[in-house]
Amino acid sequence: MSNKKEYKRVTVKSLVEMKATREKISMLTAYDYTTAKIVDGAGVDVILVGDSASNVMAGHETTLPITLDQMIYHASSVVRAIERALVVVDLPFGTYQSDSKKALRSAIRIMKESGGHAVKLEGGKEIKDSINKILNAGIPVMGHLGLTPQSIYKFGTYSVRAKEQQEAMQLIEDAKMLERLGCFALVLEKIPAKLAKKVADSISIPVIGIGAGGDVDGQVLVLHDMIGMTHEFNPRFLRRYMNLFESMTNAINQYVNDVKSSDFPNAEEQY
């Protein structure tokens, strides 16, 4: 039986309610107006304007280069499209670590200039002061633990995190701290499913997983990966729902052929 309640507009409160009623939360990325309109219309609960835009939109190898201005540009395009989903915006690398006043200024710029509804920050106890300051300004914060791609040069690889007991214990402690501080939800990326379940069972805020198994409160994927627009990135956790790379390539090939052969435009396709 489905626990699905109709939410006209998803808020941070709706997400906590979804966890309490065991309705799973769906979350996908979007970075532009046209795509966000499709994602919102299809009923996704949370749209993440992720700093994965740095990879997917700009072609950078990591998420580190994307700037606050670029995130605001992407987020404001998304916000103009949505009618129902909650829009969460990533604070990019270098805009919140180590200086809580700078973190607050960055979060305020996101909220004022993009119209997003909440911000997401990567990390645990090391960014506690930044999270506190942002929350005290009335800005909802989503946490992000496990594989945190902004720290890729510290980790050295994108492999599964928290397989060792010490890191797993720290992650649980950080998750509890994020709940205590007042974060409304938490993303867990690429950690063992058993550990993710343990975290989800031990805190009351929703835990949204990516590569963290099915026993959490919701799932998030990068849209371009799940619709198969990208094709080089093939982690085990990714389910592809389309092969858009192939469909687009075929359509564009056909267009090129039609132009070359003067098939396009035909008599009906002109004035």
Residues of the shown chain interacting with ligand KIV in the complex, contacts defined by CB under 6 A: 29, 48, 50-52, 90, 187, 189, 210, 220, 222
Could you tell me which residues come within 8 angstroms of residue 153 by beta carbon, excluding any fewer than 6 positions away?
none
Active-site residue numbers? 189
Instruction: Name the 3-class secondary structure at 233.
Output: coil
Residue 218 one-letter amino acid? G
Nearer to ligand KIV, 54 or 76 (CB): 54
Q: 28: buried, middle or exposed (CB in 10 Å: 19+, 13-18, 0-12)? A: buried
Nearer to ligand KIV, 232 or 269 (CB): 232
Could you tell me which residues come within 8 angstroms of residue 31 by beta carbon, excluding any fewer than 6 positions away?
49, 50, 53, 56, 57, 74, 77, 78
Question: How far is residue 238 from each of residues 69, 75, 225, 226, 228, measured CA to CA in Å?
Answer: 30, 24, 7, 7, 10
Report how far residue 172's alpha carbon sits from residue 42's, in angstroms, rounded to the nearest whole number. Answer: 34
The residue written with tokens 């004035």 in the block is 271
Please give the residue whose beta carbon sits closest to ligand KIV in the complex: 50
Least distance from C-beta 49 to ligand KIV, angstroms? 8
Least distance from C-beta 7 to ligand KIV, angstroms? 21
Least distance from C-beta 39 to ligand KIV, angstroms? 13
Nearer to ligand KIV, 225 or 268 (CB): 225
Least distance from C-beta 186 to ligand KIV, angstroms? 11
CA dihedral 159, 182, 223, 147 (to 10 degrees): -10
Nearer to ligand KIV, 74 or 133 (CB): 74
Report how far residue 82's alpha carbon sits from residue 78's, in angstroms, rounded to the nearest whole number. Answer: 7
Least distance from C-beta 48 to ligand KIV, angstroms? 6
Could you tell me which residues come within 8 angstroms of residue 61 by beta carbon, excluding any fewer than 6 positions away?
55
Nearer to ligand KIV, 214 or 265 (CB): 214
Q: Hey, what are 188's tokens?
A: 């867990």
